[in-house]
Amino acid sequence: MIKVAVTGGIGAGKSFICEIFNKLGIPVFNADHIARQLFDSNQEVRKKVIGLFGEDVYQPNGAINRKKLADLVFDDKIALSKLNDIIHPEVRKEFHEWVKKQKAPYVIQESAIVFESGIEGNFDKIITVSAPEELRIKRVMQRDGMTREKVLERMKNQKNEKEKIMKSDFIIENDEIKMILPQVINIHNKLK
């Protein structure tokens, strides 16, 4: 089975593109969603995260305090790397188990940090969703209620879009000018 990653910078429209693939009958694994679940439900992950950051990174109800965790790792590349070393192998395990259960010509993993986390070798093909920076900023500000400065800070932590495009097999331009559906169907036809 062909394993495909869909990636792109914050606000590029990865989830929207993955919804279209899903409507075409392609199973989509959302790595960020699974990581959030693992922080809350996987006892081994929980133990390691508490060992790294302390008990108060979890809320009294047992769920991870995402804002606190983000604040702890945002400007600390070493702490972020240690956190990624805990969560990424678990997400990969979940993905491989999930793939075994699928019955499609190919599957998709949606992940914002395919290149940043060095997992591109786990995929047969990579699709990068591209959008102009100003449009991405506007989308994230509207979607998440963030300030422009906060969005720009987040963008700094992601690989340059040109680098992602150079390393990708397919590009989908989500610029609100080019039509999305023909681009997705073209890729879909090549993959199936």
* CA-wise closest residue to 104 among 15, 23, 17, 13: 23
CATH 3.40.50.300 maps onto the chain at 1-27+106-192, 32-101
Q: What is the pLDDT of residue 175?
A: 96
Tens of pLDDT, residues 23-60: 999 999 999 999 999 999 999 999 999 999 999 999 99
In this structure, how many other beta carbons lie within 10 angstroms of the beta carbon of residue 171?
18
Q: Which CATH class is domain 32-101?
A: alpha beta
The model's pTM: 0.89
Edge-to-edge strand list for the sheet holding 28-30: 28-30, 106-110, 2-7, 125-130, 170-173
The answer to whether residue 157 scores a pLDDT higher than 80 is no
Comparing 10-24, 70-84, 133-147, the range with the smallest average pLDDT is 70-84
Q: What is the pLDDT of residue 35?
A: 93
- Is residue 2 within 8 A of residue 125, CB to CB? The reply is yes
The answer to whether residue 113 scores a pLDDT higher than 80 is yes
d(CA 86, CA 51): 11
For 176: left if phi > 0, alpha if psi spans -120 to 50, otherwise beta; the answer is left
The length of the chain in residues reads 192
Contacts of 28 (CB under 8 A, 6+ apart): 6, 18, 19, 21, 22, 107, 108, 109, 110
Domain boundaries 1-27+106-192, corresponding CATH code: 3.40.50.300
Comparing 44-48, 80-84, 90-94, the range with the smallest average pLDDT is 80-84
